[in-house]
Structure 1
Amino acid sequence: MTGNTIFITGGTSGIGRGLAEAFHRLGNKVIIAGRRKALLDEVATANPGIEGIELDIADPADVARVAAKLISDHPALNVLINNAGIMPFDDASGSIDEAVMRQLIDTNLVGPILMTSALIEHLKSQSRATIIHNTSVLAFVPLAATAIYSATKAALHSYALSQRFKLRNTTVRVQEIAPPWVDTDLIKKSGDPRAMPLDAFITETMKGLETDSEEVFVEAIRVLRDNPGSGEHQLINSFNAEMEANPLPV
Structure 2
Amino acid sequence: MNLTGNTIFITGGGSGIGRALAETLHQRGNKVIISGRRKGHLDAVVAANPGIEAVELDIADPKSIQSVATKLIAEHPELNVLINNAGIMLPDQAAGTIDDQLLTSTVDTNLLGPIRLTSAFIDQIKSRRGTIIYNTSVLGFVPLALTAVYSATKAALHSYVLSQRFLLQQSGVRVLEIAPPWVRTELMNSQEAKAAMPLDQFTEETLQILGTDADEILVEVAKPLRANPGPAEHAFVNGFNEQMVALFSSISLS
Q: TM-score, normalised by structure 2?
A: 0.96
Question: How many pairs were matched up?
Answer: 249
Partner in structure 1 of residue 171 of structure 2: 170
Partner in structure 2 of residue 243 of structure 1: 244
Partner in structure 2 of residue 110 of structure 1: 112
Residue 28 (structure 2) aligned to one of 26, 29, 37: 26
Mapped to 1, the partners of 2:110 and 2:8 lie a distance apart of 20
Spell out, residue by residue over 1:85-130, the C-alpha distance to the aligned partner (whole angstroms, 9 max, x if none): 000100101001101110000000000000000000111111x300
Residue correspondence of structure 1 range 48-87 to structure 2 within 5 A: 48-87=50-89
Partner in structure 2 of residue 6 of structure 1: 8
2:133 is matched by which residue type in structure 1? I
Alpha-carbon shift at residue 216 of structure 1 (Å): 0.5
Task: Find out whether 1:97 has 2:60 as its counterpart.
Answer: no
1:79 is matched by which residue type in structure 2? V
Q: Which runs of 4+ in 1 moved over 2 A?
A: none
1:187 partner SS: helix
Mapped to 1, the partners of 2:195 and 2:179 lie a distance apart of 16
2:131 partner SS: strand
Partner in structure 1 of residue 208 of structure 2: 207
Alpha-carbon shift at residue 245 of structure 1 (Å): 2.3
1:94 partner SS: coil
Mapped to 2, the partners of 1:68 and 1:190 lie a distance apart of 35
Alpha-carbon shift at residue 242 of structure 1 (Å): 1.5
Q: Aligned residues: percent identity?
A: 61
Mapped to 1, the partners of 2:53 and 2:37 lie a distance apart of 14
Alpha-carbon shift at residue 246 of structure 1 (Å): 2.4
Spell out, residue by residue over 1:7-43, the C-alpha distance to the aligned partner (whole angstroms, 9 max, x if none): 0000000000000001000010000001122211110
Q: Is the 8 A contact 2:140 2:156 kept in 1?
A: yes
Partner in structure 1 of residue 157 of structure 2: 156
**How large is the Cα RMSD of the aligned pairs?**
0.9
**Which piece of structure 1 moves more, 217-226 or 18-27?**
217-226
Mapped to 2, the partners of 1:149 and 1:13 lie a distance apart of 19
1:200 partner SS: helix
Q: Is the 8 A contact 2:190 2:196 kept in 1?
A: no
Alpha-carbon shift at residue 190 of structure 1 (Å): 4.0
1:133 partner SS: strand
Mapped to 1, the partners of 2:172 and 2:244 lie a distance apart of 42
**Stretches of structure 1 lacking an aligned partner (at least 5 in a row):** none
Residue correspondence of structure 1 range 190-205 to structure 2 within 5 A: 190-205=191-206
Spell out, residue by residue over 1:143-195, the C-alpha distance to the aligned partner (whole angstroms, 9 max, x if none): 00000000000000000000000000002100000000000001203422210
Partner in structure 1 of residue 123 of structure 2: 121
Mapped to 1, the partners of 2:246 and 2:125 lie a distance apart of 46
**Stretches of structure 2 lacking an aligned partner (at least 5 in a row):** none
Mapped to 1, the partners of 2:248 and 2:49 lie a distance apart of 36
